[in-house]
Amino acid sequence: MRIGIDTGGTFTDFTVLDGDVWRVHKVPSNPDSPAQAILRGLRELGIDLQQDFHLVHGTTVATNAVLERKGARCAYITNRGFADILDLGRQARAELYNLTPLPEEPPVPEDLCLETGGRLASDGKTLEPLTDADLDELCRKIEALQPEAVAVNLLFSFLDDRHERQIVEALPKDLFVSRSSEVLPEIREYERGMATWLNSYVGPLVGRYIDELHRSLPNVRLDTMQSHGATLPARLASRHAVRLLLSGPAGGLAAALQVGQQAGCERILSLDMGGTSTDVALIDGAIKMTSKGKIGGWPVSVPMADMHTIGAGGGSLAYRDSGHLLRVGPRSAGSRPGPACYARGGTEPTVTDANVVLGWLPEQARLAGGLPLDVPAAESAVGRLAQELGLDMHETAQGIVHLVNENMAQALRVVSVRQGHNPKDFVLMAFGGAGGLHLCELADALSMTQAMVPVHAGIFSALGLLLAPQGRELSRTVPGRLRGMDDSEIERRFDELAERIREEIGDEASRSWQQSRDLDLRYEGQSEVLRLPWVSTTRTQEDFHARHRECYGYTLDMPVELVNLRLSLKDPSFPPVLPPWPVQDPADPLDHAAVHGLNQPVPVYARARLAVGQAVEGPAIILEDTATTRISLHWRAKVDACGNIRLQREP
């Protein structure tokens, strides 16, 4: 039995594959103890916690710790004269034209920034030795400061890591310690230092969380999802905690890739709208990767899925701002108390409440598989805001939906139009508990004519955890002109990275795993790099010139410089194939619902009863246990062989 669990800000989602039988489930998240929500859901599914099964999960523990600034007390060790590197950053202004910006709290307090020797030059030669006196002084300071974790980031440690290793060996063994030469052995001391500090900042929290799960599930094989879309044995999770910052959303992209390929869709704009936030990404035959991600305003230079996140979800709160204008998000009602329609004490209006008021979430709907809607509570919450704005209740609800749609449409433009892609060439795939309610209007806003609500859309990220391969990705800076390097030398460096992965994972990373070898290249003197597959020095250099012309419109008669080697190893085992949709007769509507702005009641269908090939003309509503889909006027939905709802805009 395999179980995928995605811990979100509002709900914790479960997908169970037991033999050939698939089951899904949802429970409210517990931000104070995510593991307790997982254990509760497993019990509700009737699973014996003492039995042996395989659990893959995406966790928000690391992400929330960074966003809420609630990580471990962490000391930062670097070379003399560089203690303020993380505070200075890149001197990039968040508000370009604000001449009096408010000071920001530094990542590491000044008293926790320590300096020592062991400084290298750019060629790897020692400029200042690391002495026994230096190590003794560091140990005395660490003992006085009593940090929970330590991050070690010495200059040019990616060329020679012996000084960082000496420091780690000298520190107390009960400390959680990260060294930059292991976390991110690449150039740029600020980005490398931030990745190392973040790893130590959240590592102890991740470790305690994983330990709690192991104690409660003693016989379970436990894996975690990494930010780049492959899973990792949980025993390594705390050591590589910085690679879990997009753990949950990456599961959704893994599912979108696999389900899209199975449905014949290679080009996808994905929209993952949950209760707290919305993640959007572009898939063009593969998940687009980046090493320039940001979390909480801080750079995260480890490889991760290239996605854009905004504070827009079903639980996003609507309010009147100081200028007496309607605003929506990014603050969320969360799972407790949640939207007013949950009847759990929430009184502020949310996007979900607005959809209830408009009728697109009908009274028959059951959120999270069993939570009934309190329509009067939703109307009361939206009505109070309407009075403040001087509008009627339905106008206010429509305004809330319009604003959140515009925020999400803008996010979709960021990952498509701004990257030179025409949204019309893609299929808009919406998932998450709230995604299907906004799909048609978003497609209209982007002039798209094709859309999809995939099977198990409400727990899609949890499904993706079972569809994602196990794998690891490592990188290393190897500076020099590409033309002057020997092919065998580059091959040897890649083999060293592969051996390091196998040492970490052991037999699980067999030599049959698929390898992806890439180089980060640039013209000598440039700052930005382009990533290209490694073939040979001659061929890859030719490919670089062609890619540079494609991206920037020109090439230069200058040497091509190698910056980083990147190696990805993934288990080639084919993921579980989703079962075909059951053969059944076309379904009639369960009921009809009154929707604001429409003269006739709208038919309400049960998704589980729809037949393969059955068409549903909009306007209509399709209900399932974990999500609701709105089919707008001029849209036509059809169920494919896998149970996906394929939507086409009528001319």
Q: Which residue has the higher pLDDT, 425 or 551?
A: 425
pLDDT level of residue 494 (50, 70, 90 thresholds):
very high
Rounded mean pLDDT of 261-280? 91
Rounded mean pLDDT of 275-282? 90
Residue 51: pLDDT over 70: yes
Q: What span, in angstroms and rounded, lies between the C-alpha atoms of 185 and 566? A: 11
Q: CA-based angle 119:120:125, to the nearest 5?
A: 135
Segment among 7-11, 486-490, 578-582 with least mean pLDDT = 7-11
pLDDT value for 508: 59
Q: Which helix (H) or strand (E) holds 404?
A: helix 393-415
Percent of the chain with pLDDT over 90: 70
Rounded mean pLDDT of 284-295? 87
CATH number assigned to the domain with residue range 2-67+207-247, chosen from the 4 options 3.30.420.40, 3.40.30.10, 3.40.50.1100, 3.30.1160.10? 3.30.420.40
pLDDT level of residue 551 (50, 70, 90 thresholds):
confident
Q: What span, in angstroms and rounded, lies between the C-alpha atoms of 609 and 606? A: 6
pLDDT value for 368: 62
Q: What span, in angstroms and rounded, lies between the C-alpha atoms of 539 and 29? A: 51
Rounded mean pLDDT of 608-615? 95
Pairing of strands 149-152, 471-481: unpaired
Q: Which helix (H) or strand (E) holds 77?
A: strand 74-79
Handedness of CA 273, 279, 280, 281 (dihedral sign): negative
Query: What's the pTM?
Result: 0.87
- Give a three-class secondary structure readout of 329-396: EEEECCCCCCCHHHCCCCCCCEHHHHHHHHCCCCCCCEECCCEECCHHHHHHHHHHHHHHHCCCHHHH
Please state the domain extents for the chain.
2-67+207-247, 74-204, 264-453+581-651, 471-570
DSSP state, residue 645: E
Q: What span, in angstroms and rounded, lies between the C-alpha atoms of 384 and 469? A: 49
pLDDT value for 436: 95
Segment among 81-95, 104-118, 260-274, 497-511 with least mean pLDDT = 497-511
Using CB atoms within 10 A of its CB, is residue 564 exposed (0-12), middle (13-18) or buried (19+)?
Answer: buried
Structure tokens at 501: 């992965």
Residue 14: pLDDT over 90: yes
pLDDT tens digits, 342-398: 888 889 999 999 999 999 999 888 776 577 889 999 999 999 999 999 999 999 999
Are residues 80 and 119 in contact, defined by beta-carbon separation less than 8 angstroms? yes
pLDDT value for 318: 96
pLDDT tens digits, 452-473: 999 999 999 999 999 888 888 9
Mean pLDDT (the chain, rounded)? 91
pLDDT value for 636: 97
Residue 335: pLDDT over 80: no
Rounded mean pLDDT of 278-303? 89
pLDDT value for 59: 84
For residue 376, cis peptide bond before it (omega within 30 degrees of 0): no
pLDDT value for 54: 93
Residue 152: pLDDT over 70: yes
pLDDT level of residue 336 (50, 70, 90 thresholds):
confident
Segment among 37-41, 94-98, 131-135, 158-162 with least mean pLDDT = 94-98
Q: What span, in angstroms and rounded, lies between the C-alpha atoms of 65 and 72? A: 9
State which amino acid sits at residue 6. Answer: D
pLDDT level of residue 215 (50, 70, 90 thresholds):
very high
Nearest to 251 by CA among 280, 234, 229: 229
Taking CA atoms, 226 is separated from 229, 232, 240, 382, in Å, by 6, 7, 9, 39
pLDDT value for 615: 96
pLDDT level of residue 510 (50, 70, 90 thresholds):
low
pLDDT value for 274: 85
Rounded mean pLDDT of 594-612? 94
Residue 310: pLDDT over 90: no
Q: What span, in angstroms and rounded, lies between the C-alpha atoms of 377 and 145? A: 51
CA 81 to chain CA mean position, Å: 36
pLDDT value for 143: 95
pLDDT value for 509: 59
Rounded mean pLDDT of 204-214? 92
Task: Using DSSP, state whether 464 is helix, strand or coil.
Answer: helix
pLDDT value for 369: 56
pLDDT value for 26: 87
Rounded mean pLDDT of 71-92? 93
